[in-house]
Chains A and B, each alone.
Chain A
């Protein structure tokens, strides 16, 4: 944003779960907030998530989990980001995340965790503030 271009966000749904209404609504809200959004669709692997993020040169990666595989998959994504020397991406996580896992995710390097009840506006504002 600082260099005048639109903030670019990749939204992805890693893992096998198919409930993507939430992430689609977030996609819409971010776009309405003036960001460019790339949504990868479902069942993307951690490798693909990182590869597409690099190709699309996004600023922020947002991933959504509803089936309980958030720790495992986030750890993988973080590992690949480091491997590919792409640690500059901000990663945010949304979905059904138990209380005790928030700290674990943040320790892995997750910038923010959005749980049920967070309005799409709050998510857009928070992402907007991340890259100023």
Chain B
């Protein structure tokens, strides 16, 4: 990147500066720490200069926005046409209540709608009238038990013209949505949106009771992706997420490596099914966490784009440039929020959102400052959205593309991040891939090791968390309340009771039998599941029909945890 003579001169003067000026200053004032490092442990020098990029080939490693290897951005235009997409989620009570909220969000000019589903539905596949669901129905999201709930959820909303996002993993909810669209007469080719569908991360965050073994989970995901690739050109069937890993303790390096581990396991499964990489990879969206260590996070986004471009080109021989583009959805870190002095969390959110913007994210969700205390209040949700809008409209950081590109420090950190992530990806390969790495418990224990080290350092005060282990005050902690009225649970149970009474029982049981057969064999489960949804089978019934035929990971996983913690 630089001429030899210039570099020789820089190196010489840098050595002089370090040995004379800087050492003298250190002698006089001493450094704050013995070692400066990023959260993931990458050592930080006092100063970065052109010689740090001595070996850098600008065209190969940095290049231009929208050009291989995409270090400077996924698309040529950056934020000069549109900002990143701000995202907010909504969902509570029954589909009727959430429908009102969705319509309100549309009126406010939100570009897409994001539906969050309650715990019984999304993680456990049980209906509102299941005894295990008591007290949880419609609480942390909307309760969806049947195609009729799905119909009422989107009543009056133009699902053929706006993007819809579900925070769910699994085929049943997709089948219900697609079947609802068909009943409404909306052609599949017009359906636009995405769903989380990131099953491998669930083995670490372990938030699903009906988790099959990874092999079966991959088959279910492949059914979804195959159906979407063949029928829904505007639907992104999955988000390859690392948020769960990061929030369960992984550092930024592990986060990326595990995310690419997932991506490769999914990709291999789709290729094995006979799908073409260049057909499905352009639909990939990656979903990352963003924490407060500003430059490390910026470097993480930049490195991630470069690493994925290399994986797509070299490992999967991509020919379509769209297959090599790393599209990012980022979410600020719930883990970093403190219960102490909760307003401080707005500052954390701001730094994290700024990191995502400077890193070139394509969409962003900002958490609420009261997350450590309660389900978000209206005020906290609004403030989270304002954090993004202030960065967009007032800070000016979106006015040029990749403003930190060429920074000696950021480019060096991007290279170091890439190097460490690739080393860890190699280790995942050596362990036989991500599925084996999860089955053996290695990924889980890596996350746990990181979080244990982190917490030890926080407890010793080596890592400062403002308001928690430094600058504490005596304060009455302001806990919010859970504002979801229990009457919605009752309402949902009544809706379900009515559905069960009015549907054609014979038709339902026939459709469920077909779904069970499909799950047992190799047939794609999407069509029979859509048929069961049409016949008014419930979410719980369809989940049971599918997972009842699969091998459960759960008991095995429980033992693993017992072993680690007992």
- Residue numbers of A with Cβ under 8 A of B are 11, 15-21, 24-25, 27-28, 31, 36-43, 45, 67-69, 71-73, 96-100, 115-117, 119-121
Contacts and interface: CB of A to CB of B under 8 A. Distances in A.
B374 A31 contact: no
A28 B455 CA distance: 10
A68 B455 CA distance: 26
B119 A115 contact: no
A31 B564 CA distance: 11
A41 B135 contact: no
A132 B298 CA distance: 51
A14 to B, nearest CB: 10
Contact of A115 (B134, B139, B339): B339
B557 A18 contact: no
Nearest to B341: A117
Contacts of B208: 18
Interface residues of B, number: 45
B561 A41 contact: yes
Interface of B: 119-120, 123-124, 132-136, 139-140, 205-209, 247-249, 335, 338-340, 372-375, 448, 451-452, 455, 459, 468, 477, 479-482, 484, 557-558, 561-562, 565-566
8 contacts: A20-B206, A24-B451, A25-B455, A38-B566, A39-B565, A68-B140, A96-B373, A117-B477
Nearest to B475: A117
B193 to A, nearest CB: 24
B206 A68 contact: no
Contacts of B484: 68
B136 A41 contact: no
A67 B479 contact: no
A21 B206 contact: no
B565 A98 contact: no
A56 to B, nearest CB: 9
Given A15-B119, A96-B373, 11 more contacts: A15-B136, A21-B335, A25-B455, A39-B561, A67-B139, A68-B135, A68-B375, A96-B372, A96-B479, A100-B481, A117-B477
Contacts, number: 108
Contacts of A36: 566
A68 B566 CA distance: 27
A40 B559 CA distance: 9
Contact of A96 (B119, B207, B374, B448): B374
Given A37-B566, A67-B139, A98-B480, A16 B209 contact: yes
A42 B206 contact: yes
A18 B205 contact: yes
B131 to A, nearest CB: 9
A77 B291 CA distance: 37
Contacts of B477: 115-117
Contacts of B375: 68
Contact of B135 (A25, A69, A116): A69
A37 B120 CA distance: 28
Given A67-B139, A98-B481, A117-B340, A19 B562 contact: no
A72 B340 CA distance: 27
Nearest to A38: B566
A41 B479 contact: no
Given A18-B207, A21-B451, A37 B459 contact: no
Nearest to A118: B339
Contacts of A43: 124, 209
A19 to B, nearest CB: 7
Nearest to B335: A21
A71 B486 CA distance: 13
Contacts of B247: 21
Contact of A117 (B134, B339, B557): B339
A42 B209 contact: yes
A89 B338 CA distance: 31
